Each structure stands twice: as C-alpha cells, then as structure tokens.
Structure 1
Amino acid sequence: MIDVLVIGGGNAALCAALMAREAGASVVLLEAAPREWRGGNSMHTRNLRCMHDAPQDVLVDAYPEEEFWQDLLKVTGGATDEKLARLVIRASSTCRPWMRRHGVRFQPSLSGALHTARTNAFFMGGGKALVNAYYRSAEALGVRIRYDARVERLQLRDGRFVAAWVGDERIEARSCVLAAGGFESNREWLRDAWGRNAAGEWPADNFIIRGTRFNTGTLLRFMKDADADMIGDPTQAHMVAIDARAPLYDGGICTRIDCVSLGVVVNRDAERFYDEGEDFWPKRYAIWGRLVAQQSGQVAYSIIDAKAVGRFMPPVFPGTKAESLPQLARALGLDEARFMRTMNAYNDACRPGSFNHTVLDDCTTAGLAPPKTHWARPIDTPPFFGYALRPGVTFTYLGLKVDETAAVRFGGEPSANLFVAGEMMAGNVLGKGYTAGVGMSIGTAFGRIAGTQAARAALEERRHAAA
C-alpha cells in the first residue's frame, strides 16, 4: 500500500511530496493537469516573501518578523490567524536552503519589480523553473507522479482518509495530503458566490482567471459536503486588475497592469473610485481586482502620461495611446465631458512635492475625494495612455480550517491521517487582501508541514501493522 498520497501538483503539493519522501515514506502524487500544464498556479509565480534579520544573498537589508506580520495584518485588515501567520513567517526564513537542495535557484529582484528587493526572493526562471526543479527532484527520489489524474472524491471513515478515486480507480493510502487548489476556475461556483449586483449583473461572468484552468474546487466542494471544518469568505480571493485583453486562463503575471499608482483609475462612468497611491504597489496590487469587480460592467481604465513611462513593469499589450486627454477618452469609449471633469479635478488637486516612487512621498492631492495619498502628479504630458482593466482571479480563499499540524478538522477534531496545504487552506492566513509572494510562503510552509505529518502518520501505521 502507498504510504502518502498527495493530491495536487503545485508548490504546496510538491513540497509535501518531497518532505514525505525524505522522511522515508513511499509517495504517489496525483496531478489533475497533463504534464505540459503541471504545476497549478505555482508555474505563474515569481517569488517568495521571506523574513530575514540581516542581508542574505539575493535579499538586501533586513525584513524582520514583526514587520512581515504588520504588513500581513494591514493587507488582511486583521482577517488572519496570528499563530498560523507567524508560523508561516518564521518558516519563510529557513526554507531557502532546503529549496536549493531540490534545485531551486534564486536571483536578485527584477528590474521593474518595485520595492521587493528587501522582502522577496525571486526564482531564477520564475515559477515554471521552480516547479520543474521540484518535479525532477521528486522523480529522482522515487516519488511516483501521475498526470491527468483528477480526483473527484475520497473515501473517509470517522475523519480518517481511506482512499481516493481517479475515475473508477480506487487508490488506497495510509495518509493523504490535499493540495489541489481553490475553485477559481469553476465559473458556476464563482457565480453562486458573487451573485448579482445592484445593476442585475453577474460580476463573475466578467472575471478572467490569471492562473490554471484545472483548479475547479472539486475536492474543496467534496470536503465541504463531508462536513470538514471550513474557513473563509467564498468571494475573497487574490484578485488583481489585469489587462482586459488577457486570455481567459493562464495569462499569468505578464497580464497585470502595474502603472496604477503612477496615474489614476476611472470606471466606465469616467469617475475615480479609490486612492491609487494608498501604499506601495506590492502591498496594494491585489486589492484592485476586487475594486474593479465592484464597478459597473466590471471594467476600469488606468490612465497615465509620458512621465510614468519606464517606471513600471511593461505590460504584455500596449496601451491605447493619444496625444490629448479628450482624444484618449474617445479612444477608450468614455464620455469625454465626464472624463475631462475627472481629470481636471485631479490635476487641479495635485500639490507640489518631491516625487519618489521608491518611498511614500509627499506628492498628494488636496480637497479631492477619493484622495491620492502619494505619487500624485498632474497627468499633463503627452502622449497619454489608457489600459482597460478586468478582475483577474489568481486563487480563492475559501478553504479548510487547520491548526499548526496542517490536519484537516471535522467538528473541531483533527484528522489523524488527512492533511491540507496551499490554496486549499490559505484562507486561515489570508482572510482577505494580499501582499506579494505570501501565497508561496504559505504553500511552502504548510506543504512541508503536511508532508512531514503525513509521513509520520503513515509510518506509524505501518509499524503498528507489522507489530
């Protein structure tokens, strides 16, 4: 019989499989995707948020535990389990040597990746290289990997894992790790969660899925129906404002529009609706998808002028270009008079300051609602550019409630042999909001914990059976 069955194929699943195998357990990993699409959302990642008390190879200065915690507390608005969050934070300081042993390489913060040289360790070759390195290491260690192996249901008995089904095939194991992602690719579930807005629209119909098409939430739904303890709001997600021209699935990071803090954002009615300069972009980029989702038609427009060009990661698609603001309004299909009222009000409200996009500068607006708190400069230098935005969902936060052992819980009682990691439990740490790289921190920390615990449970059962 298999010792540890890992269901999923991304970062958390691979960390679990590697740890379980290193602990001496036999391991089978079931990846729902075909080999060429393996890796889940992890293949679209770039970096890992890391605590460190002093400069470390690719990380500059220091990023101590308390600052990491305060950053997380701020973006979640307190919707986080402090004990589990601090577990993740501390684990992020020690995981990189282990990652290197499994073939992951790091590089300094990329040009255009603002404000992350101190906080985030970037993967050389990106998430795809990380995923490939882990798969190579897993295969070398003897982990058996099966692709196109979608698990539809489990057999559970009194809170214990017994078996999983791939189609009509029943697969038994002494313990199991669930790491099969959220439900972001399940349009029906998204519609159920978001419902209709006041205008009678179904907002979810206009969502674009930044990540994998294979995260349909099948196992999450099964576990919910099996009365596993759940946590999180099904409408909360890592949701980013991305280019409206992005593909429906797997657009990844290159579809993100990163010039928001350098200009203004207006909705379909040509009105601003949020402070574009509230905080550094890595701490705020993931709120903008939800903000756009709340606008009429789930569309918005990021507006910049020539002064912003070259100061942000260039998007994959060129923006709509115009030599005047009225011309830009017409090109974007916005009401010209309303647009000009909005732009003139913003430009008039900008106060002189010392512009510096690397700090929370003193360039702000006065008497404007909503304000622009930092990096507010008049948009007055042609050419002008506009980017149409749509909500881009990376992963959902509804998940399974856990403790520090990563055990799935039923009625408050932890399972003895069923564990969970990654997006299926990220809502314990991320009730809402996001800060760059923390999803990989959660997946790495709890993937390693889940794999270790699953191996311990399986090997103990094996010993009892042999006694």
Structure 2
Amino acid sequence: MSLSERTPEVLVAGGGNAALCAAIAARRAGRRVLVVEAAPKFYRGGNTRHTRNMRCAHDSATGTLTGPYPEEEFFDDLLRVTSGNTDEALARHMIRESKSMLDWIQEQGVRFQPSLGGTLSLGRTNSFFLGGGRSMLNALYRTAEALGVEVVYDAEIVALDIADGTFRAATVRHDGQEHRIAAPAFVAACGGFQADLDWLKEGWGERAGNFLIRGTPYNRGTVTRMLIAAGMQQIGDPTQCHAVAIDARAPQYDGGIITRLDCVVFGIVLNKECRRFYDEGEDIWPKRYAIWGRLVADQTDQTAYIVFDAPNLTRFMPSLFPPVMADTLRELAGKLDLDPEAFEATITEFNRHVVGGRPFTHAEPDGNRTEGLQIEKTNWAQRIETAPFYAYPVKPGITFTYLGVRVDEQARILCADGTPSSNMFAAGEIMAGNVLGQGYAAGIGMTIGSVFGRLAGQGAAQHGT
C-alpha cells in the first residue's frame, strides 16, 4: 500500500517521546494511527535518543526514587528556573498529570533504574531510564508497533491543508514523491527548530553560527512554521531555548548527552579574555546547568573554558573527549591558546579569595564561597592549586527551542482568536514554550512530551472517526 492510500484516523507528525505517547494513547482508544517521522529509522526519535530521565511528581519513594516529590515543590522548582515565565494554570495541570505518568509509561514497556551519581542530585525527583533514552524510545516503538501503529520513516511533512482552524490533510514527501494524507485528527509532535541555523540567526544573530546542535539535523521546525502561517497562535521567544555548555570539540549535530559537561561547580569558568563571567556555585547543578549555554553564547566566539584541578577529576561524568591537561597553569593556558599571564592571574586571584572550611558536598549548596571578588562563587569554592590542572573548552549546545504553538489543557492547538482547533493537537518541544518561557530543570522536557503526548493522543482519538 502506498503512502497516499493510507487512511489513518489520527496522523502523528514526529517520532520521539511525545509522538509515541500520542500514538499509543490514540491506538489504545481504538483509532488507526499513522506516525510520519522525517528522520531515517536510525535517527528516529529526535532528542529522546539523548535523554536520561524524566521529572514527575510522586507521593512516596519507589524502588528507584528515594523520596516523595510533591506537586507544590515541582511547581516551585519550575517557577524558580523560569523566573515565573510560564502559563501557571497549564504548568500546574501538567504537574498533576505527571503523577500518573510514571505508572502509565511503565505500562508501555519503559523501565527505570536508580539515579546516576555525580552532580546530578536527582535521586528523589527524577526517574532514570534503564538503558537511557534510546532504550526508552525503543520500548515505546515496540509497544506502538505491537498495538498496530504504522510508522513511516524518511517522511517529511511539506504542506498542511488547514481551513478555519481545522486540519484536513498533510502533504508528505517520501521516496521522492509527495503524498496527500487526510485524517480526522492531527498531532504535531515533531520537535523544535534548533537544526535550522538560519532561523536561529533570526533571533540570535550571526553568533548562532557558532552554536552546536545536540540532537539530529532533522528538527528544523517546518511544521511549526506551517501552523503559525495557517493562523495558529504563536508562543515563545525565538532566543529562548534549552542551551547547555557542551564540549567545544563535539560535532555540529547529534553529539547528544555524552558531550555535556557537569563539572562547572567543581571549578571556575573563564572566557577568552581569561575572565570569569558568572557565579559557578549559584545553585545545585540540575537547576542551573541549562543556563550555561546562554551564558557562553554571550562570550567572545561563543567559547569558554571550565578549569579545575586534580582532586576534582573523578567527581563528575566526563565528556566523550578527554580534558586538556597540564602540570602548570601557564602550560594549560598555552594549550588552550589563552594568555598565560592573564589566565594565571585570574586563578591566583580566585584562590586568594576562597573562604572554605565547611564539609564539601555537591548534593546541596555547601556555603564554601569567595569573598571580595567582583563575581563571587557562592558555593563549592575550592582553590585550584593541585597539579595536574585540567580544562574543557565549551560552546553553547542547543537542545531544543521554545518558540512554538499555544495549547490548552487538552493539548489542543489554539487559533488566532483563542478558540481551540477542532482537531489539531500539539505535544513536546513544539509547544514547550507554554510551560518554559525561559530556563530549564533537568528532565522536564520529557515530562512535557509524555504528559501532553498522552493528552494529545486521547483528544485526537475522540475526533478520529
């Protein structure tokens, strides 16, 4: 049967966590579901392939979670990282729905394991996927396919037929041909636009040319553009995104989780002028790691350097690439092509102002700080004095963008006049800006995808006749 001959009742655009949750929910409601994934099979799943965990509210400890994570604490964490830039009603709805997600996602074949160690400190709040994101994704695909969900790869949506807020059909390019696929309901779950560097430059300017994209080159936001052009409400700032500091030696695309660096709290971060530019100890790492991509983006050549010494080498999960190492600070600066005198002077000045003496623990703010610097380090301050010395060069690593379409509590896409579409839904990164106006907390992207994916699939199933 050719693609044009398919007659789905629910058409799902995308192939990651949000799309699969939607497809499974709709199929379990008895609908014929077709998933069209723009990527080839090997690269299916977008950023889900590179994730490790998800953040859900829960009332008590489990076999893999060390304690409760109440809804109100989750909401407070979200408010803190977004500085209140969130749709509070929608965020609270998502958090409530997340409480049942841990059981539901396991019913779809996903398994969890105890939290990873190091600076993550997430054993109570976040559930880690056994085998990582790719294993989680494969479990969802196995369940979807066993239920009868059809999946077509290398299938890019190139046009949408929308009239008065109602989806009629999508034009899909596959095997060199274009196919019109009509369906009673449509779910957009095909990610952000981070792989479209030209679009990133519209918000960030030419410096976006130095950004690295942590996921695949297939998240270009084509469906997002089409929906907005068709009169769907836009939400989000084009410069807001999930951006972390990743190893500058990572590839342009698809470096994933193994190029992320979690060692900022153990040292200091310098720019090319050998100056510190932010407090490395502001809060525990899971609540601050996603600000560092934006901070580095504001530096010369969008480059910075995490510097630490020998005692800290084994305290975090390293990058795929080894750190740059030297026996002296001046030698290390030379290997980084930095001014040795300025490099050594900054570190010497930092060391002089460290006020320590408290027990060191990365699991919570420990009060070991500096006093008298223009930019203080408020926790985890340690002198960088024990050879050998190490550094990682870093650049902004863009995970996903926040500009997308506005939705309601049923994951229905809102039209320009604020009324919900009669049969279009969105889930995942394409609507993340509803919850994430700015900032990020570890694992919340998977929460957004899973919760709104399930809601979108359930809602689409009601229209899939």
Letter in 1 for 2:226: F
| Residue of structure 1 in register with 2:403 after alignment | 398
CA RMSD of aligned residues (A): 1.0
Query: 2:46, 2:246 → 1: CA distance?
Result: 19
Please give the TM-score of this superposition, normalised by the length of structure 2: 0.96
Give 2:243's aligned residue. 239
Task: Tell me whether 1:96 sits opposite 2:102 in the alignment.
Answer: yes
Tell me the distance in 2 between the aligned counterparts of 1:144 and 1:29: 6
AA aligned to 2:105 is M
Give distance in 1, aligned partners of 2:367 and 2:42.
48
Which of 376, 382, 391 does residue 381 from structure 2 map onto? 376
Distance in 2, Cα, partners of 1:290 & 1:352: 29
Kindly state the Cα deviation for residue 152 of structure 1 after the two structures are TM-superposed.
Answer: 1.2
Write the mapping of 1:66-465 to structure 2, written as runs, cut at 5 A.
Answer: 66-112=72-118, 114-167=120-173, 168-195=178-205, 202-354=206-358, 355-411=360-416, 412-458=418-464, 462=465
Identity of aligned residues (%): 55
Greater CA deviation, 176-185 or 64-73? 64-73
Which range is displaced more, 415-424 or 52-61? 52-61
Q: Partners in 2 of 1:394 and 1:250 — Cα distance?
A: 10
Amino acid in structure 1 at the alignment position of 2:99: S
Q: Which residue identity is paired with 2:182?
A: E
Which one is further off, 389-398 or 223-232?
A: 223-232
CA distance in 2, matches of 1:353, 1:308: 17
Deviates more, 1:29-38 or 1:351-360: 351-360
3-state SS in 1 of match to 2:144: helix
Q: State the shift of 1:377 in Å.
A: 0.7
- Cα distance in 2 between the residues matched to 1:268 and 1:275: 17
Task: State the Cα deviation string for residues 153-194 of structure 1 (Å, max 9, x = none).
Answer: 110011000000013210000000000110000011111121
Look up the SS of the partner of 1:425 in the other structure: helix
What amino acid is the match of 1:80? T
- 2 CA distance for matches of 1:177 and 1:424? 11
The Cα shift of 1:113 comes to 5.3
- Distance in 1, Cα, partners of 2:231 & 2:395: 35
Partners of 1:367 and 1:457 lie apart in 2 by: 63
Distance 2:361 2:103 in 1: 35
Shift of 1:313: 0.9
Residue ranges of structure 1 left out of the alignment (5+ in a row): 196-201, 463-467
Instruction: Give the whole-Å Cα distance in 1 for the aligned partners of 2:410 and 2:186.
Output: 13
Contact 1:353-1:362 at 8 Å conserved across structures: no
Separation of aligned partners in 2, 1:95 and 1:406: 16
Q: What is the DSSP-based 3-state SS (H/G/I as helix, E as strand, rest coil) of the residue aligned with 1:93? A: helix
Q: Partner residue of 2:38?
A: 32
- Tell me the amino acid that sits aligned with residue 365 of structure 2: L
Q: Contact 1:353–1:364 (CA<8 Å) still a contact in 2?
A: no
**Displaced runs of 4+ in structure 1, greater than 6 A?**
none
Could you tell me how far apart the structure 2 residues matched to 1:446 and 1:296 are?
Answer: 38
> Residues 113, 17 of structure 1: CA spacing in aligned structure 2 closer, same or farther, 3 A cutoff?
farther
Q: Look up the equivalent residue of 1:397 and give its one-letter code.
A: Y
User: 1:333 & 1:84 partners in 2: Cα distance?
Assistant: 48
Which whole-Å CA distance do the structure 1 matches of 2:433 and 2:308 have between them?
34
Give distance in 2, aligned partners of 1:358 and 1:112: 9
Q: How many residues align?
A: 453
Secondary structure of the corresponding residue to residue 432 of structure 1: coil
Residue by residue, what CA displacement relative to the aligned partner does 1:61-116 show, whole Å, maximum 9, x if unpaired? 22111111111111111111111111221222211222112111100012335211
Measure, in 2, the Cα distance between the counterparts of 1:41 and 1:181. Answer: 8
SS, match of residue 139 in structure 2: helix
* Kept after mapping to 1: 8 A contact 2:119/2:362: no
Q: Secondary structure at the match of 2:265?
A: helix
Matched, 1:52 2:58: yes
Is the contact between residue 42 and residue 127 of structure 1 (CA under 8 Å) also seen in structure 2? yes
- Supply the distance in 2 between the matched residues of 1:148 and 1:101 (Cα, whole angstroms): 29
Aligned AA for 2:151? I
Separation in 2 of the partners of 1:31 and 1:112? 35
> Deviation at 1:240?
0.6
TM-score norm. by structure 1 comes to 0.96
Q: Deviation at 1:353? A: 2.6
- 83-92 vs 294-303, which moves further: 83-92
SS in 1 for 2:168: strand
Deviates more, 1:300-309 or 1:354-363: 354-363
Q: Give the AA of the match of 1:77.
A: S
Worse overlay, 87-96 or 358-367: 87-96
- Whether contact under 8 Å (1:3, 1:26) holds in the other structure is yes
- Offset of residue 341 of structure 1: 2.0
